[in-house]
Amino acid sequence: MIFELPKLPYAINALEPVISQKTIEFHYGKHHQAYVNNLNNLIKGTSFEKENLEQIIKTSEGGIFNNAAQVWNHTFYFFQFTPKGKGTPSKELLTAIEKQWGTFDDFKKEFNATATGLFGSGWAWLVKNKDNGLEILKESNAGTPLTKGLIPILTFDVWEHAYYLDYQNRRPDYLNAMWNVLNWDEINKRF
């Protein structure tokens, strides 16, 4: 199977000022594309060549896993956004959030604290666990909830290439701004 960079559902400048066109050009256009290219080159002539992306993630390791997981993580990340944000958490999702964290604001604070506290590069995730409860999970590098049998709902990329052009070393400012471009209609479907 040949993997391709999926076309964004918005213009490359549509998320400004939260995420600049320049960041999209580098993060999506260069980094995400490089993971796609690397994965295609790495799986040539291997047993992974005919597998879908999720199967590759669940059964590979090393460079193949890292690139496959980054393709999947980045696609998940970029497709949860829309210009100026849209919608709110569904009644069901909001109820689950409030059950776990008390209020939506408390959830956001904990999510941001988890993402801020991740040492180095990685991802903060909101996931549904096997008991249908919600958890906030942090994963280093190319880590993904798919390898743990969890259902990803929302993620923030905390690799520096996701925010450095716009926020330099101010990761908390980036995280606070991200809530303004979320497409809750898409996130609610994931729940």
Q: Which residue has the tokens 């291997």?
A: 46
pLDDT in tens, 30-73: 999 999 999 999 999 999 999 999 999 999 999 999 999 999 99
| Cβ neighbours for 122, distance < 8 A, ≥ 6 positions apart | 138, 139, 140, 141, 143, 158, 159
Give the CATH fold of the 21-78 domain: Helix Hairpins (1.10.287)
Give start-end residues of each CATH 3.55.40.20 domain in the chain. 91-190
Q: How many CA atoms lie within 13 A of 58 on its CB side?
A: 9
CATH 3.55.40.20 fits 91-190, yes or no: yes
Q: Which residue has the tokens 């994965």?
A: 39
Closest CA to 153 of 161, 145, 162: 145
CB 168 within 8 A of CB 20: no
Give start-end residues of each CATH 1.10.287.990 domain in the chain. 21-78
pLDDT in tens, 124-161: 999 999 999 999 999 999 999 999 999 999 999 999 99
Q: What are phi and psi of 34, to 5 degrees?
A: -65, -40
